[in-house]
């Protein structure tokens, strides 16, 4: 309308008016009209060129923009604004070549000194990791301000040169330049990376003394530093003391809780954030959704999903990917597929999430189909995709299909198998009972087998009563002296079932003497909008009733033919574990609790942090038959759907 008015009034030849029109169209990303105005102009000035070139950059027409820039150089002398625009674009594209040539142009043409341009130059060389060039530019500056020092420090820290960074900070203090809030933030984040809480605390004191604590960047960096250096309490104190929390403060506090495993605390802060009306951003979603996945908190995940739908028009790619994973880990494969179908752009992560979703739910054929569809869609699989698809085959007994994929990784996909892929292959063979094949495969593999490899073999031996191979695997595991106690438990269970109690004792002693602790097993279930946790160290009201109910149930199960496998129950590594054995493994307690506290016929969903043991797997099959309930159990690897006495995993648990 205004553009039309310009013509009507007869000022369409005015340079300033036309510059204004170009700027306006650029702001609306309407490059075509901006160009049209530019082309009709008879007396273009530097501003006209600058405005259009920047508009092209901002709308992503990079090649066109640089072309225009070259044309401008042939037409008239650029000013410092032109230089800034071109330099920023080169920085963003990490195009050092172009940046260098602009740098050279600046030197040759003797442009006025400009602190911001100087800083962009340091940043340019920092981007390509050229610390020497950074230092050279810095040393030649007419005046080194705080920002130049900061950029130089950051360049060093980003390259991991902490010693040099700290040395430079020493030089900065001896110069007359006072550190500012950016300096403090930079140093705090270096402490975070170095996990140096003591140094971070000193900087906290310094920030208070100089008053920069009130800067949100500083406060947020402190939250991050404390929570990642094992000081969640300090982190949350800082969070509570801030007077104007922004979305990053909230996100930092929430993720700070999650990294240490404090899920309920983190979710409580997320609830407060919503209650206070702070709009969550993409980062909030990418922090909360994985926590929902871990906890299988479907209700919360769904509410996050609906708030995403309410606030955004198009689903962000990483958020969509996180939603697929969330739904599959919450047991809602259907929702995963629906989110997948709704996504307009899909990347390798999207497809891998789908493959892994099918795999977790025991649908190997569907996982393979997704893998092939991915190829048709022109998205090449990566390392993670192969883990997902081979695991999917492994859990569905598709040995040949899985193995042929493993063999084709190198040949057809130019992806060199890593140790985790060899572990998948071992799992594939041994899970279907091909134990001698699995063992010779390990002995012939080109990489040094690690505990994961031998562990995959050993855990399958136990299911197949294959003691000879099991003992060899056990010896290897003990020889590798891993810090992961899960493997020692496997070995200990093997010796216990063979009655070799002295060896069991040895393992227990070695775990203790090395200061390791066994991961306690626990299970959880959501009943009546509340999560209940069962297992050592968790006492829940109602667990006594659950235990009593379980006893009655066991009688019925035995009438149906259930024979408890005492071997598997009674010889665990720690005392609390024995107690747990006596009152039933945590997943059984959680199921019993769910049965008691829900209406007849409703299906239950139970989560466990470790793998379900063989005896529980058998027991739950009986429970599903006797009570005529569908029991969906998520263990560390996958879902088991127990229904009328059978499990969806086909006993490849």
User: What CA–CA distances, in Å, run from 420 to 383, 423, 449, 450, 454?
Assistant: 9, 5, 10, 10, 12
The yes or no reply on residue 147 touching DNA (CB under 7 A) is yes
Residue with tokens 């919360």: 300
Q: What is the DSSP letter of 349?
A: H
CA 253 to chain CA centroid, Å, is: 17
Cα separation, 457 vs 496, in Å, equals: 18
- Pick from 184, 173, 186: nearest CA to 211: 184
Interface with DNA in residues 360-379 (CB under 7 A) = none
The yes or no reply on residue 497 touching DNA (CB under 7 A) is no
The yes or no reply on residue 19 touching DNA (CB under 7 A) is yes
Token digits for 258? 């999650």
Nearer to DNA, 281 or 420 (CB): 281
Euclidean distance between the first and final Cα of the chain, in Å?
69
For DNA, which stretch binds (CB under 7 A), given 41-49, 500-508, 571-579, 605-613?
A: 41-49
Nearer to DNA, 23 or 232 (CB): 23
CB of 47 to DNA, least distance (A): 3
Residue with tokens 């939603």: 323
Contacting DNA (CB under 7 A), which of 90, 96, 133, 150? 150
The yes or no reply on residue 156 touching DNA (CB under 7 A) is no
For DNA, which stretch binds (CB under 7 A), given 19-27, 450-458, 484-492, 585-593?
A: 19-27
Cα separation, 250 vs 228, in Å, equals: 15
Contacting DNA (CB under 7 A), which of 6, 90, 99, 119? 119
CB of 356 to DNA, least distance (A): 18
Contacting DNA (CB under 7 A), which of 90, 287, 366, 492? 287
The yes or no reply on residue 50 touching DNA (CB under 7 A) is yes
Handedness of CA 524, 525, 529, 530 (dihedral sign): negative
Q: In this structure, what is the dihedral angle of CA atoms 551, 553, 558, 563, given to the nearest 10 degrees?
A: -70
Contacting DNA (CB under 7 A), which of 61, 73, 166, 286? 286
String of DSSP letters for 107-148: HHHTPPP-HHHHHHHHHHHHHTT-HHHHHHHHHT-SS--HHH
The yes or no reply on residue 93 touching DNA (CB under 7 A) is no
Helix (H) or strand (E) holding 80: helix 80-92
Residue with tokens 């149906």: 560
The yes or no reply on residue 48 touching DNA (CB under 7 A) is yes
The yes or no reply on residue 293 touching DNA (CB under 7 A) is no
CB of 401 to DNA, least distance (A): 33
The yes or no reply on residue 161 touching DNA (CB under 7 A) is no
Helix (H) or strand (E) holding 523: strand 522-527
Cα separation, 99 vs 83, in Å, equals: 10
For DNA, which stretch binds (CB under 7 A), given 236-244, 275-283, 349-357, 500-508?
A: 275-283
The yes or no reply on residue 251 touching DNA (CB under 7 A) is yes
The yes or no reply on residue 114 touching DNA (CB under 7 A) is yes
The yes or no reply on residue 617 touching DNA (CB under 7 A) is no
The yes or no reply on residue 80 touching DNA (CB under 7 A) is yes
The yes or no reply on residue 23 touching DNA (CB under 7 A) is yes
**Interaction pattern, residues 209-238, with DNA; x per rule: CB under 7 A:** ------xxx--xx--x--------------
Is-contact 401 412, C-beta < 8 A?
A: no
Token digits for 209? 């003394």
Which residues, including other chains, have CB under 8 Å from residue 416's CB and lie 6 or more apart?
A: 409, 410
Nearer to DNA, 223 or 606 (CB): 223
For DNA, which stretch binds (CB under 7 A), given 181-189, 358-366, 441-449, 518-526?
A: 181-189
- Pick from 121, 80, 79: nearest CA to 99: 121
Query: 525 pairs with which residues across the strands?
Result: 532, 606
For DNA, which stretch binds (CB under 7 A), given 178-186, 394-402, 541-549, 636-644?
A: 178-186
CB of 65 to DNA, least distance (A): 12
CB of 257 to DNA, least distance (A): 11
Interface with DNA in residues 302-361 (CB under 7 A) = 318
Is-contact 30 62, C-beta < 8 A?
A: no
The yes or no reply on residue 90 touching DNA (CB under 7 A) is no
Nearer to DNA, 47 or 496 (CB): 47
Which residues, including other chains, have CB under 8 Å from residue 314's CB and lie 6 or more apart?
A: 344
- Pick from 619, 626, 627: nearest CA to 640: 619
Cα separation, 200 vs 93, in Å, equals: 33
Which residues, including other chains, have CB under 8 Å from residue 155's CB and lie 6 or more apart?
A: 122, 123, 125, 126, 131, 134
Contacting DNA (CB under 7 A), which of 12, 33, 45, 130? 45
Cα separation, 555 vs 415, in Å, equals: 53
User: What is the Cα Rg of the chain in Å?
Assistant: 31
Contacting DNA (CB under 7 A), which of 56, 86, 154, 229? 154
The yes or no reply on residue 457 touching DNA (CB under 7 A) is no
Contacting DNA (CB under 7 A), which of 181, 328, 356, 493? 181
Nearer to DNA, 281 or 574 (CB): 281
Contacting DNA (CB under 7 A), which of 3, 12, 15, 554? 15
The yes or no reply on residue 435 touching DNA (CB under 7 A) is no
Contacting DNA (CB under 7 A), which of 9, 11, 13, 16? 16
CB of 182 to DNA, least distance (A): 4
Nearer to DNA, 156 or 580 (CB): 156
Token digits for 433? 């009972």
CA 611 to chain CA centroid, Å, is: 22
Contacting DNA (CB under 7 A), which of 30, 196, 281, 420? 281
* Residues found near DNA in the complex (CB under 7 A): 15-16, 19-20, 23, 45-48, 50-51, 54, 79-81, 84-85, 88, 114-117, 119-120, 123, 145-148, 150-151, 154, 181-182, 185-186, 189, 192, 215-217, 220-221, 224, 246-249, 251-252, 255, 259, 281-284, 286-287, 290, 318
């Amino acid at each position: 309308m205004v553009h039309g008015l310009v013509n009507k009034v007869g000022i369409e030849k005015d340079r300033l008016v036309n510059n204004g029109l170009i700027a306006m169209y650029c702001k609306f990303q309407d490059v075509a009209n901006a160009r049209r105005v530019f082309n009709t102009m008879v007396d273009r000035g530097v501003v006209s060129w600058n405005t259009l070139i920047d508009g092209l950059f901002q709308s992503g027409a990079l090649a066109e923009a640089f072309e225009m820039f070259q044309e401008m150089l042939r037409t008239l002398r650029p000013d410092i604004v032109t230089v800034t625009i071109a330099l920023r674009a080169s920085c963003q594209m990490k195009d050092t070549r172009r940046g260098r040539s602009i740098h050279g142009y600046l030197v040759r043409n003797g442009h006025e000194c400009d602190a911001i341009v100087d800083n962009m130059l340091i940043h340019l060389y920092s981007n390509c990791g050229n610390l020497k060039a950074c230092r050279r530019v810095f040393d030649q500056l007419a005046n080194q301000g705080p920002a130049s020092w900061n950029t130089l420090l950051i360049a060093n820290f980003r390259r991991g040169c902490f010693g040099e960074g700290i040395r430079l900070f020493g030089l900065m203090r001896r110069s007359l330049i006072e550190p500012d809030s950016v300096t403090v933030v930079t140093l705090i984040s270096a402490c975070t990376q170095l996990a140096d809480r003591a140094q971070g605390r000193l900087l906290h004191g310094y920030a208070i003394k100089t008053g920069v604590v009130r800067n949100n960047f500083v406060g947020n960096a402190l939250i991050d530093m404390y929570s990642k250096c094992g000081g969640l309490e300090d982190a949350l104190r800082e969070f509570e003391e801030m007077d104007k929390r922004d979305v990053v403060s909230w996100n930092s506090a929430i993720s700070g809780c999650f990294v240490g495993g404090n899920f309920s605390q983190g979710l409580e802060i997320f609830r407060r954030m919503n209650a206070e009306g702070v709009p969550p951003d993409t980062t909030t979603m990418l922090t909360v959704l994985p926590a929902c996945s871990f906890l299988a908190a479907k209700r919360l995940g769904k509410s996050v999903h609906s708030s995403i739908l309410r606030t955004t028009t198009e689903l962000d790619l990483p958020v969509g990917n996180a939603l697929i994973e969330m739904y599959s880990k919450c047991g809602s494969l259907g929702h995963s597929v629906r989110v997948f179908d709704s996504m307009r752009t899909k990347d390798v992560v999207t497809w891998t999430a789908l493959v892994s979703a099918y795999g977790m739910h025991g649908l190997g054929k569907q996982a393979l189909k997704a893998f092939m569809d991915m190829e048709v869609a022109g998205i090449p699989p990566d390392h993670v995709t192969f883990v997902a698809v081979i695991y999917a085959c492994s859990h569905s007994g598709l040995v040949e299909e899985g193995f042929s994929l493993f063999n084709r990784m190198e040949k057809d996909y130019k992806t060199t198998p890593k140790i985790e892929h060899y572990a998948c292959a071992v799992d594939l063979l041994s899970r279907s009972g091909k134990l001698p094949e699995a063992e010779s495969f390990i002995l012939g593999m080109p990489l040094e087998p690690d505990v994961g490899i031998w562990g995959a073999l050993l855990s399958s031996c136990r299911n197949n009563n294959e003691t000879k191979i099991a003992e060899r695997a056990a010896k290897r595991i003990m020889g590798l002296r891993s810090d992961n106690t899960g493997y020692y438990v496997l070995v200990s269970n093997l010796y216990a079932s063979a009655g070799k109690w002295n060896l069991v004792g040895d393992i227990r002693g070695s775990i203790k003497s090395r200061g390791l602790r066994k991961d306690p097993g626990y299970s959880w279930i959501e009943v009546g909008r509340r999560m209940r946790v069962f297992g050592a160290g968790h006492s829940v009201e109602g667990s006594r009733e659950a235990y009593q109910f379980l006893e009655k149930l066991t009688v019925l199960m035995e009438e149906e033919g259930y024979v408890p496998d005492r071997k598997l129950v009674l010889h665990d590594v720690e005392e609390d574990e024995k107690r747990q054995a006596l009152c039933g493994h945590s997943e059984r307690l959680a199921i019993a609790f769910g049965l008691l506290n829900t209406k007849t016929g409703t299906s239950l969903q139970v989560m466990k942090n470790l793998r379900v043991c063989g005896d529980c797997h058998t027991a739950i099959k009986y429970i599903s038959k006797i009570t005529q309930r569908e029991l969906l159990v998520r263990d560390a690897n996958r879902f088991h759907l127990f229904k009328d006495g059978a499990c969806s995993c086909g006993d490849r648990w």
